[in-house]
Structures are given as C-alpha cells and as structure tokens.
Amino acid sequence: MNFLRRLRIEPFILAILAAVVVAAFVPATGGAADALDWVTTIGIAALFFLYGARLEPRELLVGLAHWRLHSVVLAATFLLFPALGLVGRWALTPLLGAPLATGFLYLTLVPSTVQSSITFVAIARGHVSAAVVSASVSNLLGVVITPLLVFALMTTDGSVVITWGSVGTIALQLLLPFVLGQLLRRWVLPVTRRIRRLALFDKSVIVLIVYAAFSEGVADGIWSKVGPAQLAWLIAACCVLLAVVLGLTELVSRTLGFEERDKRVVQFCGSKKSLATGLPMAAVLFVGQPVGLLVLPLMLFHQIQLIVCAWLAGRYGRAADAQEAPGA
C-alpha cells in the first residue's frame, strides 16, 4: 500500500480515468454541454482564485537568497522543456499527427507542480523550503508565461488558433481571479484552512474539465483519431522527455556545484508539469479546438512523472538515510 501511495495511485487518478470512460460512452451534448461549459468556466475561475489565495507572496522574497537555484528551476521549466517540446513536435508530427504532436508541445509549456514536487523533494531528503519557493514561483509565473509561450510557439503554424478575444478570456478567467485571490488572501486564507474538503473541490474541477474536454473530443471523433501505435509512440516520447530533463537537471546542478539537498530541488521541481494548472489553462486557451487530443499528452506525462519520480525520490531518500545512519 505504501508503494501504491508513493506512485500516487489514488482515487483522484481513478476519477480522471473514469471521466474519460464516461465521456466516451455518455458525452455531454446539446443543453447539457452548454450547462457543463458554464460550470467549468465558473469552476476554473474559482480554482485560480484559490491558487492566488494560497500563495504566500513573502515566500518569493525569502527565496531570493537562493536565486541561482530558482533560476535553474525556472530555466528548466520555461526554457529547456519548451525547446525539447519544439523538437518533439517536429519529430512526432509524422507519427502522431498534428493535434497530438501539438499537445506534446503544450505539455512542455505549463508550469511545474507544487504538491508532488515538494513531496518528492522531502522523500529524497532535499531542501524542502527551497522546493516550496521554486514550485510556488513556477506556478505564479506560469499563469502569465504559459499563455505567452502558447501564443509564441503554438500559433505560428496554424495548428492552434488564438484570437484577441481569447486574450481577454484568459485575463478574466485566469489572471483576474488569481490577482483577486492574492489581494483578498488575508481574509480568504483563514476560511480555506477551515474547509477540510477544499482539496476535493480542486480535484473535482479537474475531473469535470477532463470530462468536458473528452466529451467534446468524442463529438469530434477523438478515439477514431488515436490508434494503439500512436498511443505507444506518445508514451515512449513522454518517457524520453522525462529522462532527458531528469538527466540534464542533475548534470547542470552538479556542474554548478549545488549541494546534494539543492540538487534534489532542481531535479524534482524542474522536471514536473502540472496537470492541475495545465488542464484549466487548456480549457480556456483552446476553446473550439480538439482539447481532448491537446491535453492527452499532458495527462500521460503527469502519470509517468509521478511513477518515475516516486521511485527516484525513494532511492535518493534511502541513500541519504544510509549515509546519516550511525557507523555509516
């Protein structure tokens, strides 16, 4: 059971898979689809409002003492990953088709995870406080940087179309709630701390977004567009992407002379991609487009990163414990 927990095989993952299955057999259509669109719109705005309320601005100032560390993490998240994503889209388009290959690029543009990054750093006996800052800064900046990267890298070939109306939607549905959350966090945070089921709300919104995205995908014939060979290539590509980033972040942190605890921050915070942030953004950015295909690579990569990093963090943790043991 402990092994399964570390792999993050939990009800949330099963709920996401169930949402895909239900959407395949009972997609939302007609008035139900319109109602679902309104519910997801409100849910996404509430999600980003709560993200803003939870982030502590003072953590950013404290983190300036480790500016080199956080710079490397941000460079991995918003420079290294997108560069690999561009190469991946070019190489994978003949194998996967344009929508899935473009989705592969999109997964490289979203910010790092918060909870799992910090958890893995803690398991690996890394610098947890630095991980909190790095992961939080990544998510904070990602609200702005990810849409900008999508504009810059995904609209050039016409595979994704984003209009100026989309810019306004992003500002109203993502940025405005996030800023309001930051401004009102003094009053909102004490309330959120008393609500034990708040995490359930976050996960429910994500599951709803998955259902909405794949409902739309079913209407567009998504399953007829993804064959077993494409799925196998996509899984292989995600594994290669993660291996390359894990290897390069370890190499760079060693070259820069980071201590062991800080290496774990660079490796685990710099190699993650957030499903919780990426899915709501996709729902806003890609309205009227094959969202199901565009987010499928992110969903697969998310599970692969959890499994691999859980194993890797456990390995580092055991090694650190062995060194600290008496007589070691």
CATH of domain 2-320: 1.20.1530.20
Q: For residue range 201-246, what is the model confidence (pLDDT) as tens digits?
A: 767 776 787 787 777 767 666 666 778 889 899 999 999 999 999 9
Both tokens of 102, joined, read: 């473009």
Q: For residue range 272-322, what is the model confidence (pLDDT) as tens digits?
A: 998 778 878 887 788 777 777 888 899 889 878 877 887 888 888 888 777
- Minimum mean pLDDT range among 85-94, 120-129, 156-165, 290-299: 156-165
